[in-house]
């Protein structure tokens, strides 16, 4: 125990740091779908740095906002208490993912990214959409279970 307090044993220190990191990681960051959406958001922002200035208020802002909104709504939905609030935010996240796919096609059409990059990103967003569908399904199942418990409706 003394070694952990002093920090002389690197392995013990690393274990303690990783336990603290898990303890203080927000719940939404533990969702694989949020992690994927967050990674895609960072990729989109990196691509947007290469877009010409004249596209700044058109395509660049649109794709950055929609890619941000996917991860943001997943976080908000996951932290919501009520079932309807959860599904509302998950539906918004799914729509924003589809909008981002459309913007990726525009990037490809305007030759800001190549076809391979476009297909990779669009497929990755399809994976996110499938993950969001799973979250929606899970919330609806929990909602059905909670409705079936308790007193019967009059």
| Residue 44, pLDDT score | 96
Task: Confirm if 129 and 91 have CB atoms less than 8 A apart.
Answer: no
Per the domain annotation, does 102 fall within a domain? yes
Residues 11 and 86 in one domain: no
Residues 117 and 144 in one domain: yes
Structural domain total, the chain: 2
Per the domain annotation, does 73 fall within a domain? yes
Residues 4 and 75 in one domain: no
Per the domain annotation, does 153 fall within a domain? no
Residues 99 and 141 in one domain: yes
For residue range 12-71, what is the model confidence (pLDDT) as tens digits? 555 555 566 556 766 787 889 999 999 999 999 999 999 988 887 789 999 999 999 999
Task: Confirm if 76 and 132 have CB atoms less than 8 A apart.
Answer: no
For residue range 87-138, what is the model confidence (pLDDT) as tens digits? 999 999 999 999 999 999 999 999 999 999 999 999 999 999 999 999 999 9
pTM of the entire structure?
A: 0.79
Residue 154: which pLDDT band, with cuts at 50, 70 and 90? very low
Residues 127 and 58 in one domain: yes
| Residue 20, pLDDT score | 60
Domain, as residue range, for 102: 31-148
Residues 84 and 123 in one domain: yes
Per the domain annotation, does 37 fall within a domain? yes
Residues 75 and 129 in one domain: yes
Residue 1: which pLDDT band, with cuts at 50, 70 and 90? very low
pLDDT at 152 over 80: no
The enclosing domain of 53 has a CATH number of 1.20.1440.60
| Residue 2, pLDDT score | 39
Task: Confirm if 16 and 4 have CB atoms less than 8 A apart.
Answer: yes
């Amino acid at each position: 125990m003394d070694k952990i307090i002093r920090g002389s044993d690197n392995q013990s220190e690393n274990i303690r740091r990783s336990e603290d990191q898990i303890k203080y990681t927000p719940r939404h960051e533990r969702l694989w779908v949020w992690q994927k959406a967050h990674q895609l958001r960072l990729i989109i922002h990196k691509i947007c740095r290469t877009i010409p200035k004249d596209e700044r208020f058109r395509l660049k802002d649109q794709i950055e906002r929609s890619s941000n909104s996917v991860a943001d709504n997943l976080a908000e939905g996951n932290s919501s208490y009520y079932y309807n609030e959860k599904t509302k935010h998950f539906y918004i996240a799914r729509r924003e993912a589809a909008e981002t796919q459309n913007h990726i096609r525009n990037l490809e059409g305007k030759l800001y990214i190549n076809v391979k990059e476009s297909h990779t990103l669009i497929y990755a967003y399809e994976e996110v959409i499938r993950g969001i569908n799973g979250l929606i399904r899970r919330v609806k199942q929990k909602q059905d279970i909670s409705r079936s418990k308790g007193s019967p409706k009059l």
